[in-house]
Amino acid sequence: MKPLPFLKSIVMVLAITPSPILLAIPMPPVPLEPIYFEPPVAQPTEEIRNSSCVDLDNAIRYLQSYRYSYKPEFYQDGFNKVATAAISLDHVLALNGILGFAYLGYSALVEEKEERRILGVEQQVTMFQQLKAEKHCFE
């Protein structure tokens, strides 16, 4: 006896549709917090709001040197080259590159700290510039 053609299609539909058992698996909780660092927005205090235009200009001028990072970029940093060579040598010595990876991790942490510091300074400079605009210091 030959199977009926519509029976084949019913079996195919049942195979494709998700079963209630699969739908009952709970999804793991997804964190709603941001993954990356978000700096707090700098809010001016009442003392800063009462500052003159010259004081605001001086505050921006004093912050200028803190807006830059003095840590060399990844490829300009000689220690990163040494760490990469240490990874290769550690594999030869069967240490699995622990020393080189440790320094590269440290270097990345220092760079992240520098970026956060610079971002905080940029927030302060932006706040001072906004206050200057509110006081019409540019006129």
pLDDT at residue number 56: 92
Q: Would you state the pLDDT for residue 130? A: 92
For residue 1, being part of any structural domain is answered with no
47-75 burial code (b ≥16 CB/10 A, e <16): ebeebeeeebeebbeeeeeeeeeeeeeee
Asked, for residue 35, whether it belongs to a domain, the answer is no
Query: Does some domain include residue 18?
Result: no
Residue 97 lies in a domain: yes
Examine residue 56 and state whether it is found in any structural domain, yes or no: yes
pLDDT of residue 103: 83
Q: Pick from 4, 11, 10, 125: which is nearest to 60 by CA?
A: 125
Hey, what amino acid is at 82?
V
Per the structure, the complete domain to which residue 124 belongs is given by: 42-139
Instruction: Write down the number of H helices and E strands in the chain.
Output: 6, 0
Domain-embedded: residue 3: no
In a domain, 73, yes or no: yes
pLDDT score recorded for residue 92? 66
Rounded Cα distance between 29 and 135, Å, is: 48
Q: Is residue 128 part of a domain?
A: yes
Tell me the average confidence (pLDDT) per consecutive run of 10 residues in the chain, 139 residues long.
Answer: 61 60 61 66 88 92 90 85 81 70 86 89 93 86
Burial bucket for residue 118 (CB in 10 Å: 0-12, 13-18, 19+): middle
pTM attached to this predicted model: 0.63
Quote the number of domains for the chain. 1
